[in-house]
Chain A
Amino acid sequence: MPEVVRQRLPLFEEQGRSASVPDSVGRNLHYLPDLPSEDPYQAGHRTCAGCGPAIQYRWVLKAAGENTIMAGPTGCMYVANSTYLSTPYTVPWAHTQIAGGGSFTSGVASAYEAMIRKGKYKGEYPNIIVMAGDGSAADIGIGAISGGLYRNHDALFICYDNECYANTGIQTSPTTPYGGATTFTPPGKVIPEGKKLPAKNLAKMMSEGHPNCYVATTTVGYTIDLMNKTRKGLNHQGAAFLHCYTPCQKGWVYQTPMTVELSRRVVESGLFPVWEYDPATRKYSYFIPPVIRPVTDYLAMQGRFGHMHPEHVATMQMAANRNWEDMGVEVTDRLRELEKSEYHMALRDEDYALPINRGVGA
């Protein structure tokens, strides 16, 4: 019986340019000469300028290489990427139904296990990756992804999280943060905060519920981290889940060049903890950013939060402080103070060095 030969992808050097280094020391070094020259995510797509998911697609596929099969459930990255006769992929790619990302991918993985074992396919086991949006991964298709993780198929399940159903015109998803304005959670006189519910903790659901899987979170602000976590997920024999924060310029209403900056500020303000879960030790390791900021530094950059009152901003700071505590970071007195609304003003009145979109909602 032929043996299933699996790939081992080497990790990239993080020294001196990883996320834990402050900007002043060279974190902004975009010249990364040791990255592979192959680019399986090519031209041919029509994503928006400043698209976070497109940046993520490129780094993930660069990290994975050509021996890869990609699945993409319905979402903005289906519609924007795969125009008939001009898809941007140089690797095999298939559309799946929005609820079928996890299950389709399970099928592909099972097919390769069986075909290689039965001598019907001669070659190394390919990287099998599904990139599901947050609507697909956290809402309608969560059962299928959980099923895939539970059955422990050798595949990488990724949620590219732009915190809304962007494809259909910015509707709330379970990962839309508290206060986020969407077309289904518009702020108004009776509901001034817009979205009232806090986000679902998708990655923790996956790691706590599927303890044999490699689970990690990251953002497109940290290229090497994203690529290394992709490779670790692929190298892990069994299922892996990667939750990647990917800003949506159209949905969040911010200045186009700020995608990467937002992806760092969300971590630095404690609103999106970046961590890795090791199934061997069942331990989490949290990334502690070199800079820690109040949440206003992050919120005020985005029009989707522009309607927030002082008490809403205070609520967000409270959530961020709880996150810092979870990560074992000591919360400073200044950040504690910011849990009170009297220390805030309405977000539209905040003044920052960075140009802010003053729009109210998407």
Chain B
Amino acid sequence: MAKTIPDPSEETLVRTEGSPDLGMTPGLAHAQRLSEMAGQTMRMNGCSASSHAALFADVDVVTAYPIRPYTAIMMNIAQFIADGLLDAEYIHADGEHSQLSAALGAASAGARVFTGSSGVGVTYAYEMYSPISGARIPVQMAIADRTLDPPGDFGSEHTDALCTRDMGWLLGWACTPQEVFDKHLLGFAIGEDPRCLLPQMICQDGYFVSHISGEVQLPTMEQMDTFLPPYKHPFALDPRKPVSHGPQIHPQQGPPLQLERARSMEAAIPIIREKTDEFAKVFGREYPHFVESYMLEDAEIVFVIQGAHSVTCMSAVKRARERGIKAGMARLLWIRPFPTEDLQQALGTAKVVGIVETNLCMGGASLAGALTLDVTTALYQAQNRPLVTSFMAGLGGETIPLEEFAWMVDKLEAAKENGHIEKAAHWVGFEE
């Protein structure tokens, strides 16, 4: 007997309402069109905020490969495409190297491209970072941080993205889902600006941001049109205007090209300021250009930090103030390009600086993390040159509880009193 295959157009197929629960923000999956979501305030986690940013930015090509914890970003985007909310090509790459290589190809051809990764996925693609930035192709990559192996650990550490910090990408951390969403839009606007043309790595701590919900104000379509015009690369691979990308050079042609790359990073600094101001005008949310100052006006001991742990850090600073300690916090919003000037200003009154390092930089001059290298270099040139020490904390994805911050406050206070630091790097939780 011949089998009857049900016609999908008939109501023979049972379809559950909305989408399966895969970390998708409740309610949003029911939206039929983007405009139904626009202008609303929704609760969503950092991953969801990233995917919604890609949705509102109307990306053309998405390249995906699964790895925890960023995977949910790509799951949500796949659902947006399946539900018809987003019209984009979705490439299931055969690995992160291919993921980034496909992103480069698509963006070179003139498409707005979104990709992302976590942990060893970020490092698996390592070869691709320099070719992408060197070709001045503004790909956007979302990173939800994860430790590098060994051993296997799902927890958050900034080491993954920090490994790529010298590869010519704009690089910065967000600490709430709203900031994640906004930073993605800012990243596109900055990176795609014809004066800039640089790829962007928009990072969020795994789990602490990627998997914890917060309120996100979604933009209206008018706001999007004002802030983010369609992407247009001036030298795209287009048969009507043939160009060659990336031909082989002779050694003597290297220096001017490398100088140009280095200058592109410097040139990004004023563009970041300009776009951040423009963002505030269009969306009504104001962000500092590079450094968020918390209780810094007269601060003598100052934490320098980035990412999610800054939320706890602020509480710790407040408590220290209640104890009469002149504490403060400077949070870095972008570390590539590194905001030397802004940081020098923010730390103008500081006597001791403690850098919270949620990453590993083994055998370096800091004996600790990667941020210290940049922060110390920036301070070396400053008029006010405070003492600097580092705190290795939150490694492996551990939380940094208030008690640990209080311990760090004491170490900084002691250094202030003594006029010198106890040691270059403290391993928080392993010392008296």
Q: Point out residues on A near B: beta carbons under 8 Å.
A: 66-69, 71, 78-79, 82-85, 87, 89-97, 99-100, 102-108, 110-115, 117-118, 120-121, 123, 126, 143-144, 146-147, 150-151
Instruction: Tell whether B150 is near chain A: CB-to-CB under 8 Å.
Output: no
Contact residues in B for A115 (Cβ distance below 8 Å): 60, 109-111
Instruction: Tell whether B97 is near chain A: CB-to-CB under 8 Å.
Output: yes
Interface of chain B residues 83 through 137 with chain A (CB within 8 A): 87-89, 91-95, 97-99, 101-111, 113, 127-128, 131
Tally A-B pairs: CB < 8 A: 164
Given A82-B247, A107-B63, A110-B91: A91 touches B239 (CB 8 Å cut-off): yes
Q: How far is the CB of A9 from chain B (nearest CB, A)?
A: 14
The 5 closest A-B pairs by CB, nearest first: A107-B105, A100-B101, A95-B246, A111-B111, A107-B106
Given A107-B103, A107-B108: A114 touches B60 (CB 8 Å cut-off): yes
A104 to B243, Cβ gap below 8 A?
no
A147 to B104, CA, bound (A): 16
B102 to A96, Cβ gap below 8 A?
no
Contact residues in A for B250 (Cβ distance below 8 Å): 84
Q: Point out residues on B near A: beta carbons under 8 Å.
A: 60-61, 63, 87-89, 91-95, 97-99, 101-111, 113, 127-128, 131, 230, 237-250, 253
Q: How far is the CB of A96 from chain B (nearest CB, A)?
A: 6
A205 to B237, CA, bound (A): 31
**A91: nearest residue on chain B (CB-CB)?**
B242
**B240: nearest residue on chain A (CB-CB)?**
A123
A103 to B101, Cβ gap below 8 A?
yes
Q: Which residue of B95, B109, B248 is within 8 Å of A107 (Cβ)?
A: B109
Point out which of B91, B127, B230, B249 has the most chain A C-beta atoms below 10 A from its C-beta: B91
A108 to B108, Cβ gap below 8 A?
yes
**A122: nearest residue on chain B (CB-CB)?**
B240
Contact residues in A for B61 (Cβ distance below 8 Å): 107, 110-111, 114
A161 to B213, CA, bound (A): 53
A107 to B113, Cβ gap below 8 A?
yes
B237 to A94, Cβ gap below 8 A?
yes
A102 to B89, CA, bound (A): 16
A-B contact pairs, 28 of them (CB 8 A): A82-B248, A83-B247, A84-B247, A92-B238, A94-B245, A94-B246, A95-B245, A95-B247, A97-B127, A97-B131, A99-B127, A100-B105, A103-B99, A103-B102, A107-B109, A108-B108, A108-B237, A111-B89, A111-B110, A111-B113, A114-B87, A114-B89, A114-B111, A118-B87, A120-B111, A143-B95, A144-B95, A147-B93
Given A100-B98, A103-B101: A108 touches B248 (CB 8 Å cut-off): no
